[in-house]
Structure 1
Amino acid sequence: MLLKDLYKEKLFQFDTVDMIVLAGDVIKYKYKVKCPHCGSTNLTKENYYKAKVLDEPLQFKCQNCGKVIEEGDLEVEPIYEKVILISHTNQSDNLCADIAKICYQSNPKDNKTFLRKIIKSGHLSILEHASFTFLITGISRVASHQLVRHRIASFTQQSHRYTKASGFFVPEKILNNTKAKEIFDDIIKKAQSAYEELLNLDLPKEDARYVLPCAIVSDIIVTMNARELLHFFTLRTCKKAQKEIQDIAIEMLKICKKIAPIIFKNAGPSCIRGRCYETKPCDDINQIRQFFAKL
């Protein structure tokens, strides 16, 4: 695909030299930019200021093959991200520490040490002032139903009343079992075919969707405050959680640790902070603790 094929989207910008961002009002879709001649991503802008002033096409020079390419002739390749952070409270660690200072009428010299002490003591209401908004793409109805059970959060999900449903999530254990995959594919094909037939009979999408299985995927936006995220991570990063939502929760946690390393330092399943509360604890708790310590 060439960049000029994406011009119809109208809103786009170069995020870095080797990546563009197609930006709507909120959600950003990322594409890797490549040389159409050799496939290299090692590109430099040739006429950035001239193009900006004279409204000429932006040109790039490939550092691998040496050719100069106009922006519209660059190759683009979508970068698929299951979990994308689209908004968050800036400097969440510092904000929560400052709020705690007001609560305790205290003025400690080190915010990090102070915040760690407050969190360790269990005074977590201060964390409710920091929020994070994620876009989760390609989530099955199975996992999204589990996700929306976390009530102290806000959700907006792709509507299959108004948009055509497409795409199905295949669980890993089915994917790796030949016979199970055959059974799964057969049912999915029949459901998809029935859905299309109902639409061809001029039934509205909201009625046709009743034949679709829980494997159907959609996109969902979720906003949680930091305190609720800690609770969410305790439950959903646990190995006892279903694999799909566990993978999503771990990706969310990776992002949160980069944004607010103090708040989310010990985030994860309960076993990494002490005892496991499951009836049958995992045998590899030490490995689990090492995994989350390196996350």
Structure 2
Amino acid sequence: MPTPVTPTVRIIGRPNLDREELHRYLAEIGGQDWTAHRPDYNDTQDLIEVAGRTCYRSFAAGLNPNVTRVRTDPDAYLGNIVEHRHGSVLEHAQYTFIIQNVSRVFTHEWVRHRQGVAISQESLRYVRLTELPFWYPEWAQNDPELLSRGQQILTALEDFQTWMADHFQLDRAGMPFHEKKAKTSFMRRFAPEGLATVLVWSANVRTLRHVVETRTDEGAEEEVRLVANQLGELMATEVPALFADYVIDDTGAWTTPHRKV
């Protein structure tokens, strides 16, 4: 029986700032007091602030003769970056996610975001299907006849996958891997686009903001909206100063006056 699944997003990689090397650099340029107002470190937000302040040498007043005042509150500094759309410095901070139990309908759309991302997807040329996990939106789960007929089709396809594996003798001792690969690649042609899969997906903060804005929009596909909303919730907790400008409207869309930072 095909397994119902729910798309999930997890952060598995985030920036790791080398504080010792950063402090050596700051001491060389006379900006060592910059960290005094940072009792609780957030590597991502500090990395972006370092990038921004480097552009103006604004770690302290007077380091750049043109800069006589500097913002000392990190949230205010980062808020100013977002407000003035200085998005280039957001590109320094890269995050990696496991996006699990999403359909290939989802991945066909998600991979259109190419700028500032890296993508690795489970390959059905190599991974043999033994079951067909499938996500049903809530409205479909509330339609018993639709659910029943859908499960019948998935069960038949799942049984066919099992039959093909036996027919091709894929578990026969000594079968060359290239032959297994060729047969497995053929078998995936009988898997539905709604089949659940998994991505490892990396993106910088500038790209993440853009994806959350565009993919939680009311017109986006509903599975895509579900994942983009999870992404936004994770990042709003992870780097609150960089997502504080967002408001979630009545449709569930993440909106901001600072789009495309």
Match of 1:116 among 74, 79, 91: 79
Deviation at 1:186, TM superposition (A): 2.1
Deviation at 1:288, TM superposition (A): 6.0
Deviation at 1:84, TM superposition (A): 1.2
Alignment partners' CA distance in 2, 1:81 and 1:210 = 23
Aligned residue number for residue 28 of structure 2:
none
Aligned residue number for residue 157 of structure 1:
121
- The one-letter code of the counterpart of 1:195 is Q
Deviation at 1:289, TM superposition (A): 7.1
> Superposed, which structure 2 residues align to 1:50-129 within 5 Å?
82-90=8-16, 91-107=43-59, 108=70, 109-129=72-92
Native 8 Å contact 2:246 2:254 kept in 1: no
SS in 2 for 1:263: helix
Can you give the 5+ residue segments of structure 2 that lack an aligned partner in the other structure? Answer: 1-5, 17-42, 60-69, 169-179, 256-261
Aligned residue number for residue 19 of structure 1:
none
Q: Describe the shift of the 1:216–1:229 C-alpha distance in structure 2 as closer, same or farther (beyond 3 A).
A: same
Native 8 Å contact 1:237 1:268 kept in 2: no
Aligned residue number for residue 33 of structure 1:
none
Match of 1:178 among 119, 133, 144: 144
Q: Which moved more, 1:237-246 or 1:138-147?
A: 237-246
Q: State the Cα deviation string for residues 244-277 of structure 1 (Å, max 9, x = none).
A: 22111111211111211111222477xx6xxxxx
Q: Which is richer in strand?
A: 1
Higher relative contact order (CA closer than 8 Å, sequence separation 6+): 2
Can you give the 5+ residue segments of structure 1 that lack an aligned partner in the other structure? Answer: 1-79, 273-283, 291-295
Aligned residue number for residue 213 of structure 2:
234
Identity of aligned residues (%): 25
- The one-letter code of the counterpart of 2:145 is K
What is the TM-score when the length of structure 1 is the normalising length? 0.62
RMSD in angstroms over aligned alpha carbons?
Answer: 2.3
> Superposed, which structure 2 residues align to 1:43-54 within 5 Å?
none
Aligned residue number for residue 217 of structure 1:
196
SS in 1 for 2:96: strand
Alignment partners' CA distance in 1, 2:119 and 2:44 = 21
Q: State the Cα deviation string for residues 43-89 of structure 1 (Å, max 9, x = none).
A: xxxxxxxxxxxxxxxxxxxxxxxxxxxxxxxxxxxxx9821110111
SS in 2 for 1:224: strand
Q: Which is richer in helix?
A: 2
Q: Describe the shift of the 1:112–1:235 C-alpha distance in structure 2 as closer, same or farther (beyond 3 A).
A: same
SS in 1 for 2:153: helix
Native 8 Å contact 2:44 2:93 kept in 1: yes
Match of 1:259 among 235, 238, 250: 238
Alignment partners' CA distance in 2, 1:288 and 1:160 = 33
Aligned residue number for residue 135 of structure 2:
169
